[in-house]
Structure 1
Amino acid sequence: MSTNIGRRTLLRGAVGLAAAGGVAGLLDLGRAASTDRTNTSGRLRIGYLPITDAAPLLVAHHAGLFAPGVVDDVRPVLFRSWASLAEAFVTRQVDVVHLLMPMALQLRYSLGSAVRVLGWNHTNGSALTVAPHITELGQLAGRQVAIPFWWSIHNITVQQMLRAHGLRPVIRQSASQSAGTVELVVMSPSDMIPALANGSIAAFTVADPFNAAADLRGIGRIHRFLGDVWREHACCALLVHEDLIDRNPTVVQQVSDSLVTAQLRIGTDRRAAAEALTAGYLPQPLPAVTRALTYPEPPGTIRHPQWHPQRIGYQPFPFPSFTEALALAMHDTVVDGDTRFLSRLDPATVHADLVDDRFVRTSLVRVDGTAAFGLPADLTRIEEVDPS
């Protein structure tokens, strides 16, 4: 697949990734690009959003887990929206990123970018947060709900929930209480809490620590963790360019090893991980990040406590069953943009084309990771989804 994708192509193909990230995000990216359009350092540069999803990349950097000379000595580059992070990745400003798993499919199959998923960055870690007065989903009829990106597990899962409760998601039209419709709007995660506080939206679904922060401040209430809807789903995956794998597989293996080690470290001491994340990487306060990583008491409605849906998980193996189920679910998801690429996808074969799990398999062997992460020995599973 061609990797020569310019800014205009990316923006058109993603239906206005500009809309997904907001004007401010693209302006910030434009300023950065004007001084450093591509990474020419000879070392890999990390890009991330300031959310707990990025923890393995950030903890690996903070703890010095990357092999010498592999990753740029400068701090990972922070972006404020998925749109700006995706553009920076496709245009080679950054080389290693955590991106929404559905977005990885969009980049490869809609925009033709030769990206590959190495493994999962995390599982769970997201929730539907509602205004304090909302106690059931039916009250969202006639209101707006914010999502972080069209091709996100958040959009897919919240639409499954809405339909299961007799509501119909709509885009680019006002929601109607009498018709039982809910308008979905894309919003940068950092704008969601202020929007919920001023009443312009009735709920948002996004990664932590924004849910935890809204809950701690009394601005919102966690209605349901998305891990209670889709058990141990992958939200963000670790992405690199395909030519990096072809050109330097040794470096890719080193990156994979570092990330797996970081994931194990997070699992060993989550409070220490929260302190590391707030040491210049995440702008949110330590109490919110700590709560997001620990959630000592499961707030909100939990139908499947045995799934531990409130607990963000850090395990790297990308189950093929999830990729297949995700590709199927994307067909049923309303988005503001081009969906024609979905008709060309065979859900049963997309995993083998998109995901290269050779490196994470090797990393797991090196750390006895199947046991350490509690993974099944045969590395297979059956997807469990319950939006009711």
Structure 2
Amino acid sequence: MTGSVSRRVLLRGAVGLAAAGGLAGVVDLARTAGTGRADTTGGLRVGYLPITDAAPLLIAHSAGLYTGTSVATTQPVLFRSWSSLAEAFLSRHVDVVHLLMPMAVQLRYALGGAARILGWSHTNGSALTVAPDVTDLGELAGRQIAIPFWWSIHNIIVQKMLREHGLRPVVRAEPSRSAGTVGLVVMSPSDMLPALANGAIGGYTVADPFNAAAEIKGVGRIHRFLGDVWRDHACCALLVHEDVIERNPAGVQQLTDAVTTAQLRIGADRGRAAETLKSGDYLPQPLPAITKALTYPPDEYRITHHDWNPQRIGYQPFPFPGFTRALVEAMHETEIDGDRTFLSRLDPTTVHADLVDDRFVRQSLIRGGGPAAFGLPADLTRTEEVDPT
């Protein structure tokens, strides 16, 4: 925590996060606070949401890659909402998390949490899933779409899509078909599928395997992969507290090495990774949904940019500065229900250097065989490509 920010400020922020995440956030935080740290060795404790975004942290645990490192070898702690995961991180009940990258920006600059991004947990891996009767984006006018959190790449991208198609996203307002408005509501990922099934919402945008599960259950269909809108966008980032880096840089390097090694393992055998995520009791969803989420056949979907492989969740760790800049710029134009005043203090050109510490992931890339082993360009540069049409 930065010296200028009190514990009271962080607690106020946690309350706000719980409000955005709903009752599940409060329940999860209470459970975590009540049990305390199960690991007594002082190892860094991992927290996660049960989605394929968390796979590198979970596969690293299953493969024993944390053994002999500063990371706790106890079972990672499962949370049901982004707010509860962030609250547990702020309150130091977990030390390592995968967190929505826009949420990481909010955590550091709005809530004063001294957190740093070590690298990306994954790219792509999300979609806009709609009710079976929705065949065109315009048919969502007058209906609601669920998002996992206000500051999420899901909210940012779906709003770009809606505006591109002449629709206007609204918050705390009744959506109108005649006015071409679409209501946005925050919902825990686990609540989205039943809400779609009972008609409470017309669609949702979220990480997998919740999109795959809707198709398997026959209650929804994937309208578009978000990777078909923003090429290889980062959804979740690997986050630790800044003082952990200062106190134990060697341990942070061990953590980054373990996660990047796990990313390579997932890429080498996605089917086996899916089985591990299920058999290891990391993800509660059925194996067919997890497997499908990791191995979508592209010929079953309408895809605009086939060369982007937008249906394929990617496990590459390098945090490109250009993405951070484009993300912060996009946050300025995104509708949310909550405080956005912190954005006025942010310069998109300088956020990356302050928020991201890529020293460790650069070393991990070398140890993992170089950028090419992860499907990355040798010079570790890229140009952002966004197409919401």
| Structure 1 and Structure 2 fold alike (TM over 0.5) | yes
Aligned pairs for 1:256-335 within 5 A: 256-279=256-279, 280-335=281-336
Secondary structure of the structure 1 residue equivalent to 2:19: helix
Distance in 2 between residues matched to 1:155 and 1:249, nearest whole Å: 34
Distance in 1 between residues matched to 2:69 and 2:365, nearest whole Å: 23
Task: Render the CA deviation track for 1:236-294: whole Å, top value 9, x for unaligned.
Answer: 00000000111110000000111110000000000000011112100001100000000
Distance in 1 between residues matched to 2:350 and 2:330, nearest whole Å: 15
Which deviates the most, 218-227 or 367-376?
Answer: 367-376
Task: Render the CA deviation track for 1:134-161: whole Å, top value 9, x for unaligned.
Answer: 0011000000100000000000000000
Q: Determine if contact 1:110/1:341 at 8 Å carries over to the other structure.
A: yes
Name the residue aligned to 1:36.
36
Q: Return the offset for 1:11.
A: 6.2
Q: Return the offset for 1:17.
A: 1.3
Q: Return the offset for 1:128.
A: 0.0
Give the TM-score of the pair, scaled to structure 2. Answer: 0.96
Q: Determine if contact 1:15/1:338 at 8 Å carries over to the other structure.
A: no
Name the residue aligned to 1:119.
119
Distance in 2 between residues matched to 1:194 and 1:106, nearest whole Å: 29
Secondary structure of the structure 1 residue equivalent to 2:298: coil
Q: Return the offset for 1:38.
A: 9.1
Name the residue aligned to 2:176.
176
Name the residue aligned to 1:135.
135
Aligned pairs for 1:1-388 within 5 A: 2=2, 6=7, 9-10=9-10, 12-13=12-13, 16-36=16-36, 41-279=41-279, 280-388=281-389
Secondary structure of the structure 1 residue equivalent to 2:304: coil
Q: Return the offset for 1:28.
A: 2.9
Q: Determine if contact 2:26/2:84 at 8 Å carries over to the other structure.
A: yes
Secondary structure of the structure 2 residue equivalent to 1:19: helix
Q: Determine if contact 2:69/2:251 at 8 Å carries over to the other structure.
A: no
Distance in 1 between residues matched to 2:126 and 2:360, nearest whole Å: 27
Letter in 1 for 2:374: F
Distance in 1 between residues matched to 2:255 and 2:110, nearest whole Å: 27
Q: Which structure 2 segments of 5+ residues have no match?
A: none
Q: Determine if contact 1:49/1:85 at 8 Å carries over to the other structure.
A: yes
* 4+ residue segments displaced more than 4 Å: 3-6, 37-40
Distance in 1 between residues matched to 2:93 and 2:15, nearest whole Å: 21
Which deviates the most, 20-29 or 318-327?
Answer: 20-29
Distance in 2 between residues matched to 1:221 and 1:5, nearest whole Å: 46
* Corresponding residue pairs, total: 387
**Alpha-carbon spacing, 1:298–1:13, altered in 2? closer, same or farther (3 Å):** farther
Secondary structure of the structure 2 residue equivalent to 1:334: coil
Distance in 2 between residues matched to 1:272 and 1:317, nearest whole Å: 24
**Alpha-carbon spacing, 1:15–1:327, altered in 2? closer, same or farther (3 Å):** farther
Task: Render the CA deviation track for 1:214-255: whole Å, top value 9, x for unaligned.
Answer: 011111010000000000000000000000111110000000
Identity over aligned pairs, percent = 72
Q: Return the offset for 1:5.
A: 5.6
Q: Return the offset for 1:27.
A: 1.6
